[in-house]
């Protein structure tokens, strides 16, 4: 690879530093506003291999901040177009795009990459990538923006806190899906239930720009709402539930994308004479407030009880007479992270499965299995689990897994 292209940065970290960058493989998940900034930075710096993952398509509302995209590519996949444009910026590097969920990316690709970058707009994918980073011992750089606000977090397995350690990604009202499946309270709850039913039936996410998809979701949401006397279901509620839309500006995205890649460069050069010479310091959390042009670093500490990066097994104390469904809800609070479709397994046998509440359109669950699992939900724990039993909690929507040990009060 020609080093003349990198002459100005080589003057900072030398040819050896540039070789380290050229030989580094990156997995970037998210090709939106901040993702585009990151792709541009990675490409121009000369990172040798970049894998870009994003299942979203380009919308007109993206064009104010996602500079790889323009009117003629509206409707195409973000990852595909971003990679195509990045190749023009630097034809000397390898770029790959995947128009799918990160949960579907092969283990071989996850293992082959040296660093993970999260430029995501949803919690479930973020937490999946966080757990994979810990599992495969890959440094993870996470970022996010909302209006004038932005952040960057650096996760180094076994050294710095992961995304779950500080409860940064747990919404105060977040709960298991069974909350809005069985006890919905708002029109949004009904819209979320409709979204999940659509996914099970169609084996794909609904498209917020597809009128047929919106009509199906509207019908499903109203049917669910009618059962619980909830009113106010309309098209806007459906679309908002799909997009999780937040305000976004290119200036904040540019700043955060630059800070993140700056931290990545420092990681790549870490533990070398180059790093010592340049006196590079790695931060683990950076917060930015654009209204006052203020940025500050926060030295986060690892949580010794984190179920993802610190302990192999979550111990939970419960009353043995509570029903199984109550244990599931308690686990959500104890683990304190997003679980979309919980599945409990004891000795290779399923004892709880959230998907049974979608049984009317889930042909994979037989009537006998449905009845067995439904009966178990209301049984006392003492009838199902012994003292000190270990069970596996798996989220079928993300693939995250947790080992649970039961202790009775």
CB atoms within 10 A of CB 394: 18
Residue 324 to residue 41: CA distance in whole angstroms = 50
Residue 234: CB atoms within 10 Å: 13
Q: Which of the following is catalytic: 36, 165, 178, 306?
A: 178
Q: Using CB atoms within 10 A of its CB, is residue 58 exposed (0-12), middle (13-18) or buried (19+)?
A: buried
- Exposed (0-12), middle (13-18) or buried (19+): which is 132, by Cβ within 10 Å? buried
> How many C-beta atoms surround the C-beta of residue 100 within 10 A?
13
Q: Is 283 helix (H, G, I), strand (E, B) or coil?
A: coil
Q: Are 257 and 34 in contact (CB under 8 A)?
A: yes
Q: Is 113 a catalytic residue?
A: no
Burial of 357 from C-beta contacts in 10 A (0-12 / 13-18 / 19+): buried
Residues in the chain: 409
For residue 111, the surrounding DSSP H or E stretch is: helix 107-112
Could you tell me if residue 208 is left (phi over 0), alpha (psi between -120 and 50 degrees) or otherwise beta?
alpha
DSSP string, 247-271: ---HHHHHHHHHHHHHHHHHHHTTT
Give 268's Cβ-side CA count (13 Å radius): 27
Among all residues, which ones are annotated catalytic? 178
């Amino acid at each position: 690879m020609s080093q003349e292209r990198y002459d100005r940065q080589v003057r900072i970290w030398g040819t050896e530093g540039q070789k380290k960058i050229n030989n580094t493989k990156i997995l970037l998940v998210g090709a939106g506003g901040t993702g585009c900034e990151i792709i541009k930075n990675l490409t121009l710096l000369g990172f040798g291999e970049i894998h870009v993952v994003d299942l979203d398509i380009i919308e007109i509302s993206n064009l104010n901040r996602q500079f790889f995209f323009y009117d003629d590519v509206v409707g195409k996949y973000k990852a595909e177009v971003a990679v195509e444009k990045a190749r023009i910026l630097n034809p000397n590097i390898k770029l790959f795009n995947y128009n799918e969920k990160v949960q579907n990316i092969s283990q071989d690709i996850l293992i082959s990459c040296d660093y993970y970058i999260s430029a995501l707009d949803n919690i479930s994918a973020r937490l999946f990538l966080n757990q994979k980073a810990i599992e495969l011992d890959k440094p993870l750089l996470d970022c996010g923006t909302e209006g004038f606000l932005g952040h960057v977090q650096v996760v180094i397995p076994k050294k710095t806190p992961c995304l779950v350690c500080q409860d940064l990604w747990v919404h105060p009202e977040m709960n298991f899906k069974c909350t809005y499946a069985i006890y919905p309270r708002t029109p949004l709850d009904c819209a979320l239930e409709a979204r999940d039913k659509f996914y099970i039936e169609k084996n794909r996410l609904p498209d917020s720009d597809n009128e047929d998809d919106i009509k199906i979701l509207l019908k499903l949401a109203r049917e669910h709402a009618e059962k619980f006397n909830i009113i106010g279901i309309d098209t806007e509620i459906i679309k908002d539930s799909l997009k999780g839309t937040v305000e976004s500006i290119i200036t904040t995205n540019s700043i955060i994308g630059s800070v993140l890649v700056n931290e990545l460069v420092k990681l790549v050069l870490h533990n070398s004479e180059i790093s010592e010479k340049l006196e590079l310091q790695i931060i683990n959390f950076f917060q930015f407030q654009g209204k006052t042009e203020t940025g500050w670093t926060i030295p986060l500490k690892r949580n010794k009880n984190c179920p993802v990066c610190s302990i192999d097994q979550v111990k939970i104390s419960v009353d043995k007479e509570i029903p199984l469904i109550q244990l599931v809800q308690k686990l959500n609070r104890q683990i304190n992270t997003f679980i979309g479709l919980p599945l409990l397994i004891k000795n290779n046998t399923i004892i709880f499965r959230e998907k049974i509440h979608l049984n009317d359109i889930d042909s994979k669950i037989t009537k006998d299995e449905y009845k067995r699992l439904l009966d178990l939900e209301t049984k006392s724990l003492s009838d199902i689990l012994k003292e000190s039993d270990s069970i596996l909690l798996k989220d079928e929507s993300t693939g995250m897994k947790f080992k649970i040990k039961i202790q009775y009060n």
